[in-house]
Amino acid sequence: MSARRRANLVAIAVLLFSMTGAMATLYAIDHLRRGSVAQEALYVRSSRVLRRMSLGYTGLLADIYWTRAVQYFGERHHSGSGDFRLLAPLLEVTTELDPRLLPAYQFGANFLAPKPPSGAGLPGAALALMKYGIEHNPDQWRLYYNLGFLYYTELKDYGKAADAFAQGAKLPATNPFMPILAARMAQHAGEFDTARMLWFTTYQSTKDELIRHNAVDHLLALQVDEDVTRLEQVVEKYRDRTGRLPASMGDLERAGFIHGTPADPKGHPYKLTADGRIEVQDPQNIYFITKGLAPGVAPPQPRPAAQPDSK
Amino acid sequence: MNSRVGYIAFNTFREAVRDRVLYNLIAFALLLSGAAILVGEISIDIERLVVVNLGLTAVSLFGVVIAIFIGIGLVSKEIDKRTLYTVLSRPVRRWEFVVGKFLGLTGTLVVNTFLMAIGVFLALLYVAHKFEKMDVWVLVALYFIVLQFLIVCALALFFSSFSTPLMSAVFTFALFVIGSLAEDLRGFARITQGVGGWIATAIAYLVPNYSALNVISQVAHGDAVPGRLILYNSVYALLYSAMAISGAVLIFQRRNLK
């Protein structure tokens, strides 16, 4: 073997060895410093400083920060951690770098507002984010919709929800459901119908498959909640009439309260428990339900909840 | 165009291509296609924004780096290799040499930008599946980036006409940074009183205003660019680069090349 060839082989061996070694070491470092990466990514919290550091290329930096926020939330949500303390600053920096980045408001508020484990449990921060978004994008009906949604679902402030929907309804480019939602909020009527309308608006105002799936999941959950509420009322009526609880759905049918065996949207018949409650057979299959669950069973949360996108 | 200027410009272009400047397109293509494919997986609802923001930022930064590193060597390299003496011993005037070099470098960058623009539009087509009306404004942003290159090339050539390549690179890059923060500088000048205010205002108007040429975030959201801004930016870039090239010619005319 010539000296040159030998040198080449040694160089290749050293290259492969050091490359593998460097990767393995980095892997070990990552494990050692788990959890600190996100902190460091936010070392610069001032959007003013970042704006200057970006030399005017703020759009790209905002995209990077938004992606970081999505990753941060997804990671924490997936791991079941209730610690979302960097989420609000990440979203603040993102929207200050690019105040017109609509997904950051729409999804960001939905990451912030719901209680853990669905979200960060920071409705105040979500509200501030939405208001900042509306201030910089006053012509976007979706932001008023998101604000109304936030007031309705998280803060239970129907008056302010009505105001938000009404303001969005006044815009030249709006959604036909906005004035109806405003009216419903003002009347504070028909909880299920209103919620259904909100999720239907979410469904039809987006092309994003993830959001559509999420809206469908919520619509199915609403259907279950409504069915269970109605069936439990029927059980009450049966008890009032007969003085005892029904032993089965058949009793309710024979008494003329229902026709056939009622089933959930996935086709599984509802169960009637001995103490007169209605339960779904497979609660892990229907996300977001609040009724029809066995005592102590929490509804599964499939993925971060979402609202309409900017399309 | 003067044929001698044309020859020098063409040779400068050919030399840049021979120096494998266009290899940056490979890095650009990888960056953009990677972003277009990956961003949908790791982020939410910003696929188009990322393609426009990342694509145009990369076009701009790659171009500025090329402009600086080739621009600073345009004169010094010819002196080091002693090819300048061969050129100037022929009936070529010094100003023709400087202008030809400038046009050759900007031509290289225009070709580079054109190829990158194709990449940006292909990536846009990939993420959006169709072109939209607002994509026209991406072309305007690309045009502004080319105007930015005109100024950077002219300044790199200006500094290289009297300074070493390293110092020319430092000066040109420093002016790029300061010029990118021109809006802040003008704001600072507005709030400064007295002589300091005058000096700050003078500096704010003397350094190149690259921030007015950066409409990337705006077009990423599909916002229109006013026609008047296109006109003013074109005039400004032409005048500013003419100013820098004139300065380079003046210095180069007086330079003792012996």
In whole angstroms, give the CA distance from residue B58 to residue A5: 40
Question: Minimal Cα–Cα distance from A52 to chain B, Å?
Answer: 7
With cut-offs at 50, 70 and 90, classify the pLDDT of residue A41: low
What average pLDDT does range B87-93 have in this prediction? 78
- Which pLDDT value is given to residue B138? 94
Distance of CA A123 to the CA centre of its chain: 13
Residue A302, pLDDT > 70, answer: no
Q: Which of A54, A55, A95, A101 to mutate to test the interface with B (most CBs of B within 10 A)?
A: A55
All residues of chain B having their beta carbon less than 8 Å from the beta carbon of residue A59 are 49, 52-53, 57, 216-217, 220
Residue B239, min C-alpha distance to chain A (Å): 22
Q: List Cβ neighbours of B95 (8 Å cut-off, separation of 6 or more).
A: B249, B252, B253
What integer pLDDT is reported at residue A38 of this predicted model?
47
Q: Which segment, A87-96, A199-208, B80-89, is predicted with the most confidence on average? A: A87-96
With 90 as the cut, is the pLDDT of residue B144 above it? Answer: yes
The count of other CB atoms within 10 Å of the CB of residue A7 is: 10
How does pLDDT run across A142-182, given as a tens digit for each residue?
999 999 989 988 888 888 888 898 888 888 888 877 777 77
Q: pTM for the complete prediction?
A: 0.74
Give the length of chain B.
258
Mean pLDDT, rounded, for B75-82:
79
pLDDT at A98: 93
Q: Give the mean pLDDT of A70-96.
A: 86
pLDDT tier, B231 (very low <50, low <70, confident <90, very high otherwise): very high
Domain ranges for chain B: 3-254
User: Residue A279 forms beta bridges with which residues?
Assistant: A271
Indicate the Cα dihedral angle B78, B84, B86, B90, nearest 10°. 140
pLDDT number for residue A307: 44
Residue B110 has pLDDT above 60, yes or no: yes
CB A271 within 8 A of CB A280: yes
Q: Does A57 contact B211 at a Cβ distance shorter than 8 Å? A: no
Backbone φ and ψ for A279, nearest 5 degrees, come out as: -130, 150
Q: Tell me the fold of A37-190.
A: 1.25.40
Distances in Å between the alpha carbon of A292 and those of A227, A289, B16?
9, 8, 72
How far is the CA of B40 from the CAs of A131, A267, B43, B45, B250, in angstroms?
Answer: 27, 34, 6, 7, 53
* Residues of chain B with C-beta less than 8 angstroms from the C-beta of A52: 181, 184
Q: Considering only CB atoms, which chain A residues are within 8 Å of B45? A: 103, 106-107, 208, 309-311
User: B32, B39, B48, B49: which to substitute to probe chain A, counting the most A Cβ within 10 Å?
Assistant: B49
Q: What are the tens digits of pLDDT across the range A254-291? A: 888 888 888 988 888 998 888 888 998 887 778 778 88
Average pLDDT, chain A: 82
Q: Is A59 within 8 Å of B217 when comparing Cβ atoms?
A: yes
Subunit contact A67:B43, Cβ cutoff 8 A: yes
Residues 6+ apart with CB under 8 A from B56: B120, B138, B141, B142, B145, B216, B219, B220
Q: What is the nearest CA distance from B41 to chain A, expressed in angstroms?
A: 10
